[in-house]
Amino acid sequence: DIVMTQSPLSLPVTPGEPASFSCRSNQSLLHSSGYNYLDWYLQKPGQSPQLLIYLGSTRASGVPDRFSGSGSGTDFTLKISRVDAEDVGVYFCMQALQTPFTFGPGTKVDIK
């Protein structure tokens, strides 16, 4: 199975300020199509996860453009250009290259 790691595990943020966090895999997630098979999900408190980013950098429908995904191969980053109070929760990355799909442990984001 592909092992996913994330850092930091906890991130206090200030509204209006940028934030970024990392996701790494122990195998390359670059598909033969040229796309990286890496998704980002946000699980807000008490809610189910919601899709933010797929294919490493494609924003899902309705996701604000302050969220951006980047990276390739084994190293990926999710950036929030200006944190909003509604962005608190746990951010999970998931490798979507091969089954079993596996998730990282999550980065918990809360307001300072």
Partner 1 sequence: QLQLQESGPGLVKPSETLSLTCTVSSGSISSGDYYWGWIRQPPGKGLEWIGTRSNSGSTYYNPSLKSRLTISVDTSKNQFSLRLTSVTAADTAVYFCARHRRDWGNYFDSWGQGTLVTVSS
Residues that bind partner 1 (CB under 8 A): 31, 35, 37, 39, 41, 47-51, 54-55, 58, 60-61, 92, 94, 96-97, 99-106
**80 vs 97 by CB, closer to partner 1:** 97
For residue 90, how far is the Cα from the chain centroid?
9
**Residue 99 beta carbon to partner 1: minimum distance, rounded to whole angstroms:** 5
Please tell me the distance from the alpha carbon of residue 4 to that of residue 74, in angstroms, as a whole number: 9
The closest alpha carbon to 38, from 22, 54, 25, 27, belongs to: 54
Please tell me the distance from the alpha carbon of residue 100 to that of residue 82, in angstroms, as a whole number: 34
**Residue 81 beta carbon to partner 1: minimum distance, rounded to whole angstroms:** 22
**1 vs 17 by CB, closer to partner 1:** 1
